[in-house]
Amino acid sequence: MKLSPAYRLAATILHGFDEYRARFKQITFDASRRFREAAWRDAQQASAARINLYGEKVEDTLGRLQRTFPQDVLAHCETWGEARHHYAELISQRLDYELAETFFNSLFCSIFQHRHIRNEWMFVYSSRDDAAHRSGIELCRRYPVNGDWPNALRWALEEAPFDNPFADLERDIGLGTALLEAQLPAAILQAEDAQVELLKSVFYRNKGAYLVGRILGGGEQVPLVLPILHGEGFGEKQGGDPCLHLDTVLTETDEVSIIFSFTRAYFQVDVPVPGEFVDYLKQLMPHKPEGELYAAIGFFKHGKTEFFRALNQQVAKREDKFIIAPGVRGMVMAVFVLPSFRTVFKIIKDKFDPAKDVTHAVVREKYRLVKRHDRVGRMADTQEFSNFTVRKDHFEPECLAHLLEVAPSIVSLKDDKVIIKHCYTERMMTPLNIYLEQCSEAERETVLKDYGNAIKQMAAANIFPGDMLLKNFGVTRHGRVIFYDYDEVCYITECRFRHMPKGQGIDASSLSIGPNDIFPEEFGPFMFANKTLRDMFMDQHPELFDPDYWLEVQKAIRDGRVIDVYPYRNKQRFAGTVGQLVY
């Protein structure tokens, strides 16, 4: 029997998806080997390769479609509607069906340039929202505590699938048990039915491996994360210690949420059933959007799908309208928000302030750089949308007028629709300059310290923010300072850090300054117009104004050192070392 063009279209897309998933799993599965061997540079490259993989496989599949089918078949929406039906049947028994739907959507949007977004022709809504079924695959391992917390922790560590031995397991158990007994609610600590539950899969990222799960008992539960590290210097210098140690024990929801933050690189973790895996993580972090959880475990494109669906639901409620984002307006980006949705939408202006010597293409490449790079908990993840369409009456008139004025090549009207050719979305934060105007003295001191830590940790990851003005950083609900304006971002290794000349009669204005020359001694007045804030910050972080500090960081990166940046506070660590970069 001859197969219809629509069926062959669906089968071709599914073949492309299978290729993507096979390679994705191969990269992910190799994370345990990279951790075992401390192949930190390989880990960084694998992370970037896995991010690039999705676009590569979409392009490969698109080329296959264009070689196989006449243009009039590919350009016919009704054919895609029929293909959608066949595709839904082909993936109906798959454990990763939602990821497969997103891959279909990517091909549809590539053909139609993100137009004709209708559920009849693509998966605006999932094909299995009303018919989801459980796989029966057991994701977790469990251990009844029976009042013996040291033995429960021993089980958690000894039964984990690590090849390297622990350096001093008894020490780790003693320290971990003491912390558990200090942190756990009495109802759980004393419960007869207390049990430790951990996902079987290990979460790998940067230099760490994380055991993730929860502790239950007495009708209550708390999340549980056990970060595992190698000994000092392993993989980077002769004599490094390959043995493992437990670095801390985390049991607070906010702490776990920070580890899974939208500001960090995606985990490398084996995910047998994506939807059920995310459902489990959602129980540990109920305030974390599903889209962010999908992204955190590597499925950032499906995270975008979940984001889009949640946005559509929120807009349909008509609780509020899009408005211009509060704060100082940007010189490169126009920013607007839907206040109830906790997201900012950013579009590139047609014309930039004369001080900004960049182009549209350069700005987009800067955002791609950050997407691929290790964000070390200090740079916001972004989602990129094309031909983003919203009804005109969902905008406040002032907001819409501003967007049409500053970006007429990007924003246009068609009947009652606003069409935005290209935009980025990021999690909403309080701009740092606004936060400093509203916070208490104690909060001011804390957030300024974190502002400096953010700059240092980005530097450790080979990122120089370029424009370090307060308005380009935000403060999260956890009080963490995050960088979110990427139009001047560059690699530390591309910068030329220079001392200001010393001596009488030297005119600084006569200096020959190249495009990559940076004078840290001049940062103060540029970053802070307020002298009180400037003095406080310079007392906290004097090294940031010393060119030698930046040159030392630069040398460490060029020497191949992957500098540690841990997603939890130094004071929580069992083996914290002075000078390590931590949250």
As annotated, the active-site residues are 381
**Residues facing 386 on adjacent strands:** 422
Task: Report which residue type is found at 366.
Answer: K
In sequence order, which residues have a C-beta less than 8 Å from that of residue 74 and are 6 or more positions away? 9, 65, 66, 111
Residue whose pair of structure tokens reads 């580890």 in the numeric block: 259
In sequence order, which residues have a C-beta less than 8 Å from that of residue 136 and are 6 or more positions away? none
Output phi, psi for 443, to 5 deg.
-65, -35
Nearest CA to 105 out of 261, 306, 355 is that of 306
Tell me the residue ranges of DSSP E strands in 249-348. Answer: 323-324, 333-337, 343-348
How many Å apart are CA 375 and CA 369, to the nearest integer? 10
In SS3 terms, 57-99 reads as HHHHHHHHHHHHCCHHHHCCHHHHHHHHHHHHHHCCCCCCHHH
How many Å apart are CA 6 and CA 12, to the nearest integer? 10
- DSSP state letter for 268: B
First to last CA, the chain: 62
Burial of residue 153 (CB within 10 Å: 0-12, 13-18, 19+) is: buried
H or E segment at 464? strand 463-464
Nearest-5° Cα angle at 63, 60 to 65: 110
Q: SS3 of 518, please? A: strand
Nearest CA to 344 out of 468, 467, 429 is that of 429
Which tokens go with 513? 């300054």
Exposure string over 380-413, b if 16+ CB within 10 A, otherwise e: bbbbebebbebeeebbeeebbebbeebbeebbee
How many Å apart are CA 39 and CA 45, to the nearest integer? 10
How many Å apart are CA 537 and CA 534, to the nearest integer? 5
Which tokens go with 164? 């390297």
How many Å apart are CA 423 and CA 382, to the nearest integer? 10
Neighbouring CB atoms inside 10 A of 79's CB total 18
How many Å apart are CA 229 and CA 208, to the nearest integer? 5
Q: Are 465 and 455 in contact (CB under 8 A)?
A: yes
Length of the chain: 583
H or E segment at 389? strand 383-391
In SS3 terms, 129-156 reads as CCCCCCCCCCCEEEEECCCCHHHHHHHH
